[in-house]
Structure 1
Amino acid sequence: MSKASFFPRSQRAIMLACLGPTTAFFFAFWLLPVTRLVMLPAQQGWQTYFAVLTHSRYLNSLLNTVVLSVIVTILTLILGATVGMYLARRQFRGRELLLSLLTLPLSFPGVIVGFFVILLGGRQGPIADLTQALGMGRITFAYGAIGLFLAYLYFSLPRAIANYTAAAEAMDTSLEEAARALGASKYNITRDVWIPQLAPTTVACGAIIFATAMGAFGTAFTLSSKFEVLPISIYNEFTNYANFALAASLSVALGLITWAVLFIARIVSESGNRTLGRPA
């Protein structure tokens, strides 16, 4: 019996009627803009699609973005897993309050996060005041790679902590107890019990953190005066220079890299679920 036979004709008509606005929204606000974005660089020649690889400025911007995103992702996963495991395994007074404070930055937009870094490491921040008092001049770090790194880490870490805490609380403790009973060391438990069970969270969370760092604009716009990343290059091209074709080309490159990472993460997650016998 087909699935359609389970629904009366009236319900199928309602479902088709609801599908109409959804389809129209998909075409109007996703398919048409994306198609336009992909075709726009062709107006200046097909070589425009490869501008991010043939022009040193845009290539450096791309490399800056990818390297920064990878470093932020790795460190965020390490710190997030450590804090998440600790919070999941420890019960103490004020635990829920601490967890809510650690995840508070989730409510802040990127501009505010960048402003926090400026307040700390900007020209009028306490670090600059301290270095001046020590006779070293006013040293700042907010407007370059270090400032962006700290801002991205601050912005990404709450997501990792929340995800790892939830995943650690759902772990099968019987496996760990069995390993302890067999005399496994803390290192072996971490390697053979914790890491495999947290692997799906690590893959999914890492992909989202990387994608977020690659496309972050508000934070980069606030801090990247000395360290250009690809979202700022795109912004400059279509806002300051009205070079829409080149901006579209850079956008396509950024989107392809991010999509590839998300796609690979999905494949790895599905493969891991099949290995563990879980539904994909």
Structure 2
Amino acid sequence: MDSLLSNLFSEEFLSPIILSLKVAAVSGILVIFWGTVLGRYLARRLFRGKAILETIIMLPMVLPPTVIGFFLIVIFGRNSFAGKAIEWLFHQPIMFTWWAAVIAAAVVAFPLMYQSAKSAFQGVDIAIENAARLDGASESKVFFFVSIPLASRVLISGCILSLARALGEFGATLMFAGNIPGVTQTVPTAIYIAIDSGNMTLAWLWVISIVLISFLMLLAIRKKEV
């Protein structure tokens, strides 16, 4: 019992959980903002190439995490244009930093938020939006005070799902951000290393923690639907 309690309050146990929540929160803000904006923009627009664009947006949902990690390394690696620009601006590469974990989590979570936002705004009665415009409301006011409130139920579900997906990201994070304790080691990568090293006590504690957090997130969605 004393050993269990010491593990629960140890920095080794808490550090990946805190980092995972931090990564999920920051990537979630990015995903929720851009997913909502892009979902609203594409909800009712038809143009040549839209199917291809949306297919690219949704690809991270079906691609193996290692493939996503590979593309992130190609795009943001030290030999790429973006990688060199980031290293010039911040005097360090982005790979193997916690920002790399944020990017990896955001990429895999974005399709969930985009699809939820698009479906939410497609479900909004356009007649209500047009009525607000006729009353003199600007497009920004229609968006914030009409469209978002009417779509809020589905948007909130999308937010929670994308946060849960960001929290559980493993493969792309391991490839792009690595597994540096206290820097890039999130709960999924910590579980992998704990099992590999035979530390089943810590592995179980992390598994229970992330299952509990994910359960509460999904429960919040179910309660919202009732």
Query: The TM-score by the shorter chain falls in which range?
Result: 0.7 to 0.9
Residue 232 of structure 1 pairs with residue 185 of structure 2: no
Shift of 1:171: 1.5
Q: Are the structure 2 counterparts of residues 253 and 49 from structure 1 closer, same or farther at C-alpha, using a change threshold of 3 Å?
A: farther
Q: Does 1:141 align with 2:94?
A: yes
TM-score (norm 2): 0.86
Tell me by how many angstroms 1:164 deviates: 1.8
Q: Return the alpha-carbon distance in structure 1 between the equivalents of residues 171 and 211 of structure 2.
A: 17
User: Which residue of the other structure, out of 11, 26, 31, is the alignment partner of 1:76?
Assistant: 31
Letter in 2 for 1:255: V
- Deviation string 1:208-240 (CA, Å, 9 cap, x unpaired) is 111112222212222223411111111221212
1:48 pairs with 2:1: no
CA offset digits 1:186-211 (Å, max 9, x no partner): 33322221111221222111111111
Identity %: 24
From the superposition, tell whether residues 71 and 145 of structure 1 become closer, same or farther in structure 2 (CA, over 3 Å): same
Q: Greater RCO between the two (CA within 8 Å, min separation 6)?
A: 2
Q: What's the offset of the Cα at 1:258? A: 1.6
Larger Cα-atom Rg: 1
Equivalent residues in 2 for 1:55-74, closer than 5 Å:
55-74=10-29
The question of whether the paired residues in 2 share the 8 Å contact of 1:128 and 1:139 is answered with: no
Q: 1:265 to 1:60 in 2, by over 3 A?
A: same
Give how far 1:147 is off.
1.3
- Root-mean-square deviation over aligned CA pairs: 2.5
Runs of 4+ residues deviating >3 angstroms: 123-132, 136-139
Q: 1:143 to 1:86 in 2, by over 3 A?
A: same
Alignment of 1:1-280 (within 5 A): 45=1, 48=4, 51-52=7-8, 54-127=9-82, 139-222=92-175, 223-226=177-180, 227-240=184-197, 242-267=198-223, 269-270=224-225, 280=226
Q: Distance in 2 between matches of 1:189 and 1:75?
A: 22
How many angstroms apart in 2 are the aligned matches of 1:201 and 1:137? 38
Q: Closer, same or farther in 2 for the Cα pair 1:58/1:170, shift >3 Å? A: same
2:105 & 2:81 partners in 1: Cα distance? 21
With over 3 angstroms needed to count, the CA separation of the structure-2 counterparts of 1:117 and 1:138, relative to structure 1, is: farther
Number of corresponding residues: 222
Which digits, 9 at most, give the CA deviation of each residue in 1:71-101, with x for residues without a partner?
2122211111111111123222222222222
Partner Cα separation in structure 1 for residue 26 and residue 36 of structure 2: 15
Q: Distance in 2 between matches of 1:260 and 1:163?
A: 19
8 Å CA contact retained: 2:169, 2:188: yes
